[in-house]
Amino acid sequence: MPVGTQGSVKAIEHRELLAEDARIILGNTYHLYLRPGTEIIQKAGGLHRFIGWNGHLLTDSGGYQVFSLSDLRGISEEGVQFRSHLDGSLHQFTPERVIDFQRTYGSDIMMVLDECPPYPCDEEYAAKSNALTVRWARRSKEQEAKTERLYEHEQALFGIVQGSVYPAIREESARMLSALEFAGYAIGGLSVGEPADLMYRMIELTTEILPTEKPRYLMGVGTPENILEAVERGVDMFDCVLPTRNARNAVIFTSQGRLNMRNAKHATDFSPMDPACHCYACRSFTRAYVRHLFKAGEILALQLATMHNISYYLTLMRSAREAILSGTFPAWKQSVLGTIAVDESAE
Ligand SMILES: [Zn+2]
């Protein structure tokens, strides 16, 4: 899922996302609540109409942003109090209010408010924090049942498994949330600085518990390598700013590895960014031209690199689905890992 924090996937238009067959994008409850505010979005007839997007929308609960971006004033049983990173104004998010906001947005997939503990955090804190997250999840589920959708389409609500890097707490979290019967389950609190093999272990023990017939969504992950390892462990959905953020820094993902389009070696390279890619940017322009655009500070550079990286990620996921269906995933994964081991992005 491409990430459109402010109701816009940075440096790419909706029609270009549709051309790459993007069917769902992310919006951010915290950012959209602070600006433009839920009232304007409701007046517009919901988030789809406000941003002119006919595909699906998932909005995260804002929990992660409250803990990472805002000036946190306190966590209580009731909810979380914080000061806006924009103007310092004081706000409170509760599990119930966050559901109400997402009813206003009309998100196809709503997320519960959770506490995302930092890494590292001690076991006692992780256990206490997870217990609170589970109690908040129960209240979110009750609020979902008590409130009506405001627009015609259905809205699904996902729970979020936490528990830091402690197996027993992760398992407890996955079990308690499964009992609440959410429409789908997210795995949160990973890719926050822990080693990759620890992240994979946490994913594995979580997906073993979560119901197999419901979608599993790994939040905020990650590199193509991370995604393939998580798919192998039973994860279905991903979101990450990596493809779009890297693109704006001239780093692109290709079938020949990770390239930095600012590198001098591309100055007279008149081949496409990725010869194996069918996106508009690769069909129409050369590495030499894209490098020139980056060097000249042209906005088109960001647009072309973003379009390509989105295309690369969506193609990767489509190919993963095909490989799973044809029973060739392990061999396919090894071949892709071989191509992405090349990394000249730091040169
Ligand atoms: Zn491309």
Structure tokens belonging to residue 21 = 């067959």
Show which residues are catalytic. Answer: 60, 239
Structure tokens belonging to residue 258 = 């990770």
Q: Which residue has the tokens 């998100």?
A: 107
Whole-model pTM: value is: 0.97
Rounded to an integer, the average pLDDT of 16-28 is 97
- pLDDT value at residue 304: 98
Ligand 1 centroid vs 17 CA: distance in angstroms? 13
**Is the model's pLDDT at 347 over the cut of 80?**
no
- pLDDT value at residue 64: 87
**Is the model's pLDDT at 168 over the cut of 90?**
yes
Ligand 1 centroid vs 185 CA: distance in angstroms? 32
Q: Locate the DSSP E strands across the chain.
A: 24-28, 56-60, 71-75, 80-83, 90-93, 109-111, 156-161, 184-187, 216-218, 237-238, 251-254, 257-260
**Is the model's pLDDT at 346 over the cut of 90?**
no
Chain segment 185-225, per-residue pLDDT in tens: 999 999 999 999 999 999 999 999 999 999 999 999 999 99
- pLDDT value at residue 271: 98
Ligand 1 centroid vs 256 CA: distance in angstroms? 12
Chain segment 254-287, per-residue pLDDT in tens: 999 999 999 999 999 999 999 999 999 999 999 9
Average pLDDT, the chain: 96
| Residue 133 confidence class, pLDDT cut points 50, 70, 90 | very high
Ligand 1 centroid vs 124 CA: distance in angstroms? 47
**Is the model's pLDDT at 71 over the cut of 90?**
no
- pLDDT value at residue 98: 98
Ligand 1 centroid vs 246 CA: distance in angstroms? 14
Ligand 1 centroid vs 277 CA: distance in angstroms? 5
Distance CA 265, CA 286 (A): 13
| Residue 69 confidence class, pLDDT cut points 50, 70, 90 | confident
- pLDDT value at residue 68: 84
**Percent residues over pLDDT 70 in the chain:** 100
Query: Who contacts 9 (Cβ-Cβ below 8 Å, separation ≥6)?
Result: 2, 3, 17, 25, 244, 306, 310
- pLDDT value at residue 345: 82
**Percent residues over pLDDT 90 in the chain:** 93
Rounded to an integer, the average pLDDT of 7-25 is 97
Ligand 1 centroid vs 310 CA: distance in angstroms? 8
Q: Could you say which DSSP state residue 343 is in?
A: B
> CB burial class (10 A; 0-12, 13-18, 19+) of residue 87?
exposed
Rounded to an integer, the average pLDDT of 32-37 is 97
Chain segment 93-115, per-residue pLDDT in tens: 999 999 999 999 999 999 999 99
| Residue 77 confidence class, pLDDT cut points 50, 70, 90 | very high
Ligand 1 centroid vs 309 CA: distance in angstroms? 7
Ligand 1 centroid vs 19 CA: distance in angstroms? 12
